[in-house]
Amino acid sequence: MPRPSRRSLLRGLVLGGSAAFLSACDSPGRDDSSPTGRVVPDDPTTWPDDTELLVAARQRIHAHLSMLRATRVPGRAKALDGRWETQIARIEQLITLGGLALPPLEEPSLTDLPADDEAGTTAPRQDGDGDGDSDEAAATTSAGPEAIDVGRLLRAQLPSVVAEIATSTPTNLAMLVSLAAEQADSAHLLGARVDWAPLTGPSGVHAVRVLQATRPAVFGLEVVAARATGEERETYLGVLDQVRALTRQLTTLAGEAAPAPPLGYDLPEPLEDADQRKRLASSLVADIAPATLQAAERLVGRADQLMAAVRVVAEATRWSRELGGPSEPFPGMTLP
């Protein structure tokens, strides 16, 4: 993600999508077959790899959850409660399987929520899965904190979160990138859309891995859009424009490593039925996030490229939702 004690759970956190599954692999390092005999609670040097990052992630998500429960949550973000609970439970399993007792959780203060001018400019939601309330109205109808304030906090934390996960080992890097992408997507759902910097990665051969998912997605979206009409067609075209733009950027980032695109791809037929078209479009877009996580595993220590990977996974998650796909606790990964 063989370390039988810690990695058995990561073996279940498999990179998902319609075509890509990442199996656990052997990696050099100390034998952790019995980590509980070596771990000293007050000595992080005895902890399994990345445990400090997992402890920090658990505390951060707990703080987000506590803050969200103290605010009025818009309908589009109701699922965040369950998603964050699942994340905490999985992280706790990893920590305890590594032989460390769970440290106590600290309760956050709502005064930790940033003001709008501290967290950038927010933008109205665009993904059409809300409850009809405008984000600006949600931010001003109460004297107390609102869900959009939590979203601003999530957005403001992203640079420091990515800087932390850049120190991760390959064992947990994909999972931590997935969690950061979910945080960015959650900020968007809460009304604090992230204004991303220009895409800087993945580059070279790592970009090619993602291109192998975006190119067929572009082709398939073009086909289903051509066979659809009305609102269905507009939905496909909206996602297509964004996936096509990403593909162009990745082609540039790949440089000479980028192979020539094929003339076409085999697609299941027939595609005359709206459900068939939707399933195909959703499955193709669903492959983008796991492909990006696979590329991210090779980007240890490269915070700028990891931030770009977080962006791609977060945006692919939003595109998938627009096409009717589920929102998962670990985007690009599936739980056992």
Q: What is the pLDDT of residue 143?
A: 56
pLDDT per residue as tens digits for the range 205-257:
999 999 999 999 999 999 999 999 999 999 999 999 999 999 999 999 999 99
> In this structure, what token pair is assigned to residue 286?
């669903």
Q: Tell me the pLDDT band of 290, cut-offs 50, 70 and 90.
A: very high
How far does CA 89 lie from the centroid of its chain?
17
How far does CA 177 lie from the centroid of its chain?
6
Outline where DSSP puts E strands in 106-180.
Answer: none
Quote the pTM value.
0.83
User: For residues 138 and 147, is the Cβ–Cβ distance under 8 A?
Assistant: yes
Classify residue 232 as exposed, middle or buried by CB count within 10 Å of its CB (0-12, 13-18, 19+).
middle
3-state secondary structure of 83: helix
Q: Which of 90, 57, 17 is nearest to 332 (CA)?
A: 17
Q: What is the pLDDT of residue 37?
A: 56
* pLDDT more than 70, % of the chain: 79
Cis omega before residue 270 (within 30°)? yes
